[in-house]
Amino acid sequence: MLLVLLPTYNEKENIALMLQTLSALLPEAKILVIDDNSPDGTGRVVKELIPRYPRVSLLHREKKQGLGKAYLAGFKHVLQNHPEVKRIIMMDADFSHDPKFLPAMIKESEKSEVIIGSRYVFGGGVEGWEPWRKYLSSLGNIYCRLICRLPIRDFTAGFYVINTGWLKKIDLNLISSSGYAFQFELKYRLYQAGASFKEFPITFKNRVNGESKITNHIIREGLIAPWRIIFKK
């Protein structure tokens, strides 16, 4: 059984089309939307769509606490309530992670425990980014790779297929990053636990609707987090 985790904050303009697309592409998969009480009413839209898509459910959180906290809440919910789920898909709800890559990534997950949709392997790339964002992302990945010493090209990737058995082997309470630093902290913990990784080339597209959620806090956290991760017992 597959389950897609979709963290949302102000994704009203994207969520209906994303649920329609995923339901058509992966008709047997469950979809869990984790909404951080979006002011634009994203959670309300999901509730209205659930009768149309019975495999969709909503995990409502009272306030915005960052991407990492949303995913951790989703992991714990799935592990506690859905033992039938064997693989979890992690992706953004804004179509920057194109669902068309999922069938091939899912097939690859039969051979490796963690599949990463990667921009920085042969065949991968980005579309629609400003030069400063390309520079920031490339530099950030080099920085993480030098510090954490993992054989991964795209540390900040947020597009995954993960065998849920490996989530059970790590202490989710040790993961404290709230923003995009969560992505490389999760990879580091999974690698420490012994999971095998495969980077699958994807084209990352700039979000279809809405505003980017990159903030100065997220950038600062990204600079500090690799050191905190490797020194944390």
pLDDT tens by residue, 185-233: 899 889 889 999 999 999 998 755 555 555 555 556 656 666 566 666 5
**Structure confidence at residue 133 as a pLDDT band (50, 70, 90):** confident
Is 156's pLDDT higher than 70?
yes
Diameter of the chain by CA atoms? 48
Structure tokens at 233: 């017992």
- Domains of the chain by start residue, with CATH: 2-231 (3.90.550.10)
Beta bridge partners of residue 4, listed in sequence order? 31, 89
d(CA 233, CA 231): 6
**Structure confidence at residue 57 as a pLDDT band (50, 70, 90):** very high
d(CA 154, CA 84): 30
Query: By the 8 A CB rule, do 11 and 212 touch?
Result: no
* CB-based burial, 185-206: b 16+ in 10 Å, e otherwise: bbbbbbbeeebebbbbbbbbbe
pLDDT of residue 212: 54
pLDDT of residue 72: 95
What angle is formed at CA 221 by the lines to CA 217 and CA 222, rounded to 5 degrees?
120
Query: By the 8 A CB rule, do 22 and 4 touch?
Result: yes
**Structure confidence at residue 151 as a pLDDT band (50, 70, 90):** confident
Percent of the chain at pLDDT > 70 equals 88
pLDDT of residue 216: 56
pLDDT (tens digit per residue) in 71-121: 999 999 999 999 999 999 999 999 999 999 999 999 999 888 999 999 999
pLDDT of residue 207: 59
H-only helix segments in 32-128 = 42-49, 67-81, 102-108
Torsion of CA 27, 126, 145, 191, to 10 degrees: 10
d(CA 74, CA 149): 28
pLDDT of residue 202: 96
Query: By the 8 A CB rule, do 208 and 15 touch?
Result: no
pLDDT of residue 136: 76
**Structure confidence at residue 14 as a pLDDT band (50, 70, 90):** very high
Give the DSSP H or E segment for 159: none
Under 8 Å CB-to-CB from 220, ≥6 apart: which residues? none
Percent of the chain at pLDDT > 90 equals 61
